[in-house]
């Protein structure tokens, strides 16, 4: 019989430049901590890392505070197009959907694609899959997102990004979950509504291994400016460096330092098979929370001068 491992979990609700006011901070903290608590309970009950990641992403997509699922931002033409991916680290299998509309939980489409030969679908293919699965048609638009778009339209989209959760920017708005289960399996999931006001058809990092990657050694979910994450190939880079022998802390620090030198705007959360929890960022704020096996914590007020933070196993 295999040894039972103490599960670990880390989630994020995006990155940004500020958390203005305690009201914003405490509201975000409660949202993240509540989700960590619910998902960690599943891991304690023996659910797989993949099941936990799917549930965590679903809960984050359902919270209009975050730019994924309900509450996604609008593209320049006023439409919502979402992307999501799931990676099963044990099977080292990636699946995802790109620029899908009219679905409540894009992560559920990524889940279904784990069983398919063709595992990453674009907008048209995602719409076909949605019909095949008979998922109910759903409008993820919120009044806040519509008002943001209308205000930007008045200014002819002169601002680069719309506003998003807790005064951070939509361009950095993503949600993600990385889990380690009792069997030592790792999975990662990432979902986003995109930059906001972007060119029609623009593809984010969230449905690429650049933004979401896992194997038997580690798992990473990224947030920030998608193009910056793609240019660094951040998630895959951290995981592969861990596979090649660096500790997760070393792999994250090296990768985030490189990103800083290249003037990237991003953040990442990660777990390894030993139960280490590590996060990193070049942005000022990373909306992340975790369960270290004993307590729930977060890095919402984490020192901006540090590139990485970690919870090490004892």
Taken in order of first residue, the domains within the chain and their CATH numbers are 8-311 (3.60.20.30)
What 3-state class would DSSP assign to 164? Answer: coil
Find the helix packing angle between 123-133 and 106-113, rounded to 10°. 80
Which burial class, exposed, middle or buried, applies to 115 when counting CB atoms under 10 A from its CB (0-12, 13-18, 19+)?
exposed
CA distance 95 to 190: 11
pLDDT digits (tens, 9 = 90+) for 186-232: 999 999 999 888 899 999 999 999 999 999 999 999 999 999 999 99
Kindly give, in sequence order, each residue whose CB lies less than 8 Å from that of residue 240, ignoring residues fewer than 6 positions away: none
Average the pLDDT over 266-290 and give the result. Answer: 96
Considering the entire predicted model, what is its pTM?
A: 0.94
d(CA 52, CA 55): 5
Q: Please write the tens of the pLDDT for every residue from 59-104.
A: 999 999 999 999 999 999 999 999 999 999 999 999 999 999 999 9
Q: What is the DSSP letter of 77?
A: T
Query: Which entry of 50, 142, 158, 174 is annotated as an active-site residue?
Result: 174
pLDDT band at 46 (very low <50, low <70, confident <90, very high): very high
Does the pLDDT of residue 163 top 50, yes or no?
Answer: no
Known catalytic residue: 174?
yes
């Amino acid at each position: 019989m295999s040894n039972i491992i103490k599960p670990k979990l880390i989630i994020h609700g995006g990155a940004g430049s500020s958390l203005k006011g305690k009201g914003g901070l405490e509201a975000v903290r409660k949202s993240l901590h509540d989700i960590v608590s619910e998902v960690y309970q599943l891991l304690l009950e023996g659910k797989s890392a993949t099941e936990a990641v799917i549930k965590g992403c679903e809960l984050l997509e359902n919270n209009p505070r975050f730019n994924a699922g309900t509450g996604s931002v609008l593209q320049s033409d006023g439409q919502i197009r979402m992307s999501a991916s799931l990676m099963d680290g044990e099977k080292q299998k990636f699946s995802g959907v790109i620029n899908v509309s009219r679905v409540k939980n894009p992560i559920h489409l990524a889940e279904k694609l784990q069983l398919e030969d063709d595992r990453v679908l674009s907008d048209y293919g995602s719409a076909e899959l949605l019909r095949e699965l008979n998922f109910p048609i759903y409008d993820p638009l919120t009044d806040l997102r519509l008002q943001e778009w209308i205000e930007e339209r008045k200014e002819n989209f002169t601002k680069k990004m719309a506003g998003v959760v807790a005064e951070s920017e939509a361009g950095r708005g993503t949600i993600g979950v990385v889990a380690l289960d009792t069997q030592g399996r790792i999975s990662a999931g990432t979902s986003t509504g995109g930059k906001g006001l972007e060119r029609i058809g623009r593809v984010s990092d969230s449905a690429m291994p650049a933004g979401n990657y896992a194997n038997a050694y580690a798992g990473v979910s990224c947030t920030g400016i998608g193009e910056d994450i793609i240019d660094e190939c951040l998630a895959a880079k951290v995981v592969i460096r861990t596979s090649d022998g660096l500790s997760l802390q070393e792999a994250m620090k090296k990768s985030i330092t490189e990103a800083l030198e290249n003037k990237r705007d991003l953040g990442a959360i990660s777990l390894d098979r030993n139960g280490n929890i590590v996060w990193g960022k070049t942005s000022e704020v990373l909306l992340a929370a975790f369960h270290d096996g004993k307590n729930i914590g977060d890095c919402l007020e984490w020192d901006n001068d540090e590139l990485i933070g970690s919870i090490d196993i004892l």
